[in-house]
Structure formats: C-alpha cells, structure tokens
Amino acid sequence: MLDKKTTAVLKALNKLSEGSAYKVITVDDVLNALTQKSQYDSESVRQIIDFLEKQEYINIKFSEDNTYCYSLLPKARICLEQETKTRTKKQPFPCLSYLFTILASFIGTMLALVIFFYLI
C-alpha cells in the first residue's frame, strides 16, 4: 500500500502518461500536475519516482538530472483502479441511516410505553 504523497505522484504520472507508451517528462511537469504543490519539492518527487521504480509501479527507460522517460506498469494501474473503487464504495448518505435508526428507536420506545401503561 502506498502513502498519500506517493499515491499523489503516481496519479500525476498517470495523468501525464498517454496510454501504455513511454513518456518523457521533467520533475517540473510532475510538480505542475500535482494538486497540492506546497507539500512537494523537486528532490522529494525524484525520491518518490525512484521508489516507484524499485517497487515496480513504473518502468524508467532512462533518466538524466530532472528528466525521465517512463511507462506505467500494470501494478500501478491496478493500484489506481483500487483506490477509485474504494472511494466509490463509501455510503453517500450516512446521515440517512442514522436518522432511520433514531426514528426506529423512538417508535419502539413509544410502543413499549403504550403496552406498559395501557395493557398492564
């Protein structure tokens, strides 16, 4: 499992890549593709890219200074798909289930009071 920063860089690399072909990018391209740019600098992005290569999420054909030629591997695509699936599994209205629980508790209590006071 990847942490939030690594996942964000992987998403940026996915956004920059075009299908399964190799893509030449710079670290500045990755920094511009990130949504929360204040958390990253060029050195941290380089370290994350190296980590992703070692963990076999991306394949780097060559790298020079701040330039990389990379391609996403199937492991990265599976990871990104699983993350989007976990986001969509969240219940859209959890407040609605709480409301039904409170309403059922209230109705049950009222029925218990009616039975206790009028039938006994």
pTM over 0.85: no
Q: Are residues 24 and 81 in the same domain?
A: yes
Instruction: Measure the CA–CA gap between 94 and 44, rounded to whole angstroms.
Output: 37
Contact between 71 and 25 under an 8 Å Cβ cutoff? The reply is no
Per-residue pLDDT at 34:
86
pLDDT averaged over every residue in the chain: 85
Percent of the chain with pLDDT over 70: 91
Number of domains in the chain: 2
Per-residue pLDDT at 90:
60
Q: Are residues 11 and 48 in the same domain?
A: yes
| 32 vs 88: which has the higher pLDDT | 32
Q: Are residues 102 and 85 in the same domain?
A: no
Residue given tokens 């609605």 in the structure block: 96
Q: Are residues 84 and 58 in the same domain?
A: yes
Q: Are residues 40 and 24 in the same domain?
A: yes
- pLDDT digit string (tens) for 98-113? 889 999 999 999 999 9
Q: Are residues 12 and 57 in the same domain?
A: yes
Contact between 11 and 80 under an 8 Å Cβ cutoff? The reply is yes
- pLDDT digit string (tens) for 33-75? 887 767 788 888 899 999 999 999 999 998 888 899 999 998 9
Q: Are residues 46 and 25 in the same domain?
A: yes
Over residues 89-100, mean pLDDT: 74
The token pair at 29 is 């391209």
Q: Are residues 37 and 56 in the same domain?
A: yes
The CATH number covering residue 70 comes to 1.10.10.10
Q: Are residues 63 and 119 in the same domain?
A: no
Domain extent, residue 20, equals 4-89
Q: Are residues 104 and 115 in the same domain?
A: yes
